[in-house]
Amino acid sequence: MVNINIAALENIGKVLNDPKRPMKERFRALFTLRNLGGEIAIKCISECFQDESVLLKHELAYCLGQMQDKNAIPILRSVLEDKTQDPIVRHEAGEALGAIGDPDLKMLLEKYQHDPAIEVAETCQIALQRLNWVANKASEDRNLSKSRYESIDPAPPSVEDNVEKLQQTMMDESKPLFDRYRAMFSLRNLGTTESINALGQGFKASSALFRHEVAFIFGQMQDERSVPYLKQTLEDVTEHEMVRHEAAEALGSIATDECTEVLKKYLNDPRPVVRESCEVALDMSEYENSPEFQYANTLLTVQS
Ligand SMILES: [Fe+2]
Ligand SMILES: [Fe+2]
């Protein structure tokens, strides 16, 4: 961890918590806090759950989960329990609790696995199965817990590596989402044209949560071969906003001219979560196409 004084950390927190700042700056502040970690960073991030932006708040929860710090459990718990928060934000809080993976969270996740908001219910079902998996890791699974994308995934990859079989499992709506997610993460790890096309079929699944995860994974892979699927998803105005948001951010991380062009088209989308995603995604593409050292470099700007 970088050695940084409290005042500098709090200044980054102020950028994050300032609704007058452009969304892309607030995102950079958030990623800087996530990377620095520790109690003050968690406090600054927690305060921001008062904000109006669903996009920003769901990202706060995501980052808290990825930080893997048990000090974030109380705030994530209160967000999951707060029915006035948007289901997208509550979903991300549930997923983050699963990522932290504390066995004591079992009861809480059980309570919300039947939440009326389907995104929240499905997330808690997956998180519960992840807790179980962490507790009873089968020996062949032991090497699977770490993602090659350095993310804490909602489910580990499966042990299968046959694309056809993986696609079959992924699309089998009678199977638990956890098993279908495992197949999805294996397809991601294969990274071939066949596995990307198989993942693209995932956009036909009935669960919006599932479809948003496919888009998220394409963002991690940053592979041009997924662009047609992502473009179609963002352009479909009848698609769930959580899925379109994730498609926009994935396009931002792939960052070809074609991606930029489509993102610009939705900068004024009537749905705030979609238009803010396009704004942030265009900022990410700018970074992808520039020689800057680190995407989230608020620390440098705040200190100088
Ligand atoms: Fe999500
Ligand atoms: Fe997201």
The SS3 of residue 19 is: coil
Averaged pLDDT, 31-42: 95
Averaged pLDDT, 14-23: 96
Is 294 in contact with 32 (CB distance < 8 Å)? Answer: no
Residues 6 or more apart from 245 whose CB is under 8 A from it?
55, 88, 212, 273, 274, 277
Residues 6 or more apart from 251 whose CB is under 8 A from it?
227, 230, 231, 234, 259, 262, 263, 281, 285
Number of the ligand closest to the Cα of 281: 2
Whole-number Å distance between alpha carbons of 255 and 288: 7
What integer pLDDT is reported at residue 135 of this predicted model?
Answer: 85
Q: Categorize the per-residue pLDDT at 304 as very low, low, confident or very high, splitting at 50, 70 and 90.
A: very low
DSSP H or E run through 73: helix 73-81
Averaged pLDDT, 2-7: 76
Residue 242 C-alpha to ligand 2 middle, in angstroms? 7
Averaged pLDDT, 97-102: 92
Residue 62 C-alpha to ligand 1 middle, in angstroms? 7
Length of the chain: 304
Q: Is the pLDDT of residue 302 over 80?
A: no
**Percent of residues, the chain, with pLDDT higher than 70:** 91
Is 231 in contact with 218 (CB distance < 8 Å)? Answer: no
Is 260 in contact with 285 (CB distance < 8 Å)? Answer: yes
- Residue numbering of the annotated binding site: 58-59, 91-92, 212-213, 245-246
Q: What is the pLDDT of residues 111-167, one digit of tens each?
A: 999 999 999 999 999 999 999 998 887 655 656 656 678 889 999 999 999 999 999
- HEC secondary structure over 115-144: CCCHHHHHHHHHHHHHHHHHHCCCHHHHHH
Is 226 in contact with 188 (CB distance < 8 Å)? Answer: no
Q: Is the pLDDT of residue 110 over 80?
A: yes
Residue 173 C-alpha to ligand 2 middle, in angstroms? 23
What integer pLDDT is reported at residue 225 of this predicted model?
Answer: 98
- Residue that wins the pLDDT comparison between 36 and 287: 36
Residue 246 C-alpha to ligand 2 middle, in angstroms? 5
Whole-number Å distance between alpha carbons of 22 and 176: 40
Is 154 in contact with 177 (CB distance < 8 Å)? Answer: no
* pTM score, whole prediction: 0.92
Nearest Cα to 183, choosing from 200, 205, 162? Answer: 162
What integer pLDDT is reported at residue 125 of this predicted model?
Answer: 97
Q: Is the pLDDT of residue 245 over 60?
A: yes
Residue 213 C-alpha to ligand 2 middle, in angstroms? 9
Residue 7 C-alpha to ligand 1 middle, in angstroms? 32
- Residue numbering of the annotated binding site for Fe cation: 58-59, 91-92, 212-213, 245-246
Number of the ligand closest to the Cα of 209: 1
Number of the ligand closest to the Cα of 219: 2
Q: What is the pLDDT of residues 52-86, one digit of tens each?
A: 999 999 999 999 999 999 999 999 999 999 999 99
Whole-number Å distance between alpha carbons of 138 and 295: 37
Angle at which helix 118-135 crosses helix 87-100, to 10 degrees, equals 0
